[in-house]
Structure 1
């Protein structure tokens, strides 16, 4: 039994592989597709900021395998993502894709063209300022009470 736990924890270093080893195929494949799909997406659109979710998926996978091994009676095999397409979920997903697309356009088109005319230090300041304003706007939106 102890060898099985060690092997499952070893496989959990690859997101989804530990779940597959334990027989949780659906959850393992979902985690694996999310992890490697996000890596491919970050490389494809050349947007490193989206890569901040990669370690989150990785650590979730490791700790979830540990939970499945050491607390199997309270373990839920589903991924627990609410993917129902009600208006609010679609709205937030839409905003996420719009922000991701605008960020990709700025990072891959606007900034490289601007680098021809503006030095790299100024461009770094402009990028930092834009990201800072986005975070400030998101924070203000979160603090405003909903009606």
Structure 2
């Protein structure tokens, strides 16, 4: 079934929506999730990350307009290949192996985000407020989340402590005919 050029153009303004309209559900959901997740994280935790929003939006817009001219069978193949390529580019291996190899970098990133939140959201508010008691209780959830992120970063940097292996000195003699 041929898709309408008008509806593809209108839906292209919402990242991922035109892809879903064209039958590329996996790609559409991933692009839409990335866009709105970036808005949520950037708005609450790390505003400098919002500079990526126009990049994602323009990619989604022009990619959807280009996909309008591709056949349905080719779109299905491209949708599957997008997910496979995304797996190999982003993950390369399973998450556990990814996190163990890059725990130092992730730990530093989490510590940076935690300190940024404390400086920008908590300390910045105290500099311009006179009602300190209200501000402390108002900013307490942000402060707790900031410290949790910092401690998680420290945990990632330090890694798991390996248990000390102790060899048994004493081995019980069970006789000559033991099982």
Fold conserved between structures, TM > 0.5: yes
TM-score when normalising by structure 2: 0.51
Cα shift at 1:67: 2.9
Is 1:103 aligned to residue 116 of structure 2?
A: yes
Gap regions ≥5 residues in structure 1: 118-147
Change (3 A) 1:64 1:89: farther
TM-score when normalising by structure 1: 0.61
Q: Secondary structure at the match of 2:33?
A: helix
Gap regions ≥5 residues in structure 2: 131-179
Q: Which of 47, 70, 76 is 2:78 aligned to?
A: 76
Distance 1:23 1:34 in 2: 19
> What pairs with 1:50-61 in structure 2 (closer than 5 Å)?
50-61=49-60
- Determine which structure has more spread, i.e. the larger CA radius of gyration: 2
Deviations 1:89-123 (A, max 9, x none): 66555544433332222211222234469xxxxxx
Distance 1:88 1:100 in 2: 20
Is 1:20 aligned to residue 20 of structure 2?
A: yes
How many matched pairs?
A: 116
Is 1:112 aligned to residue 125 of structure 2?
A: yes
Deviations 1:53-95 (A, max 9, x none): 2212111111221232245659732153322443566655554
Change (3 A) 1:33 1:9: same
Query: 2:3·2:22 contact (CA, 8 Å) conserved in 1?
Result: no
Residue matched to 1:36:
36
Change (3 A) 1:57 1:100: farther
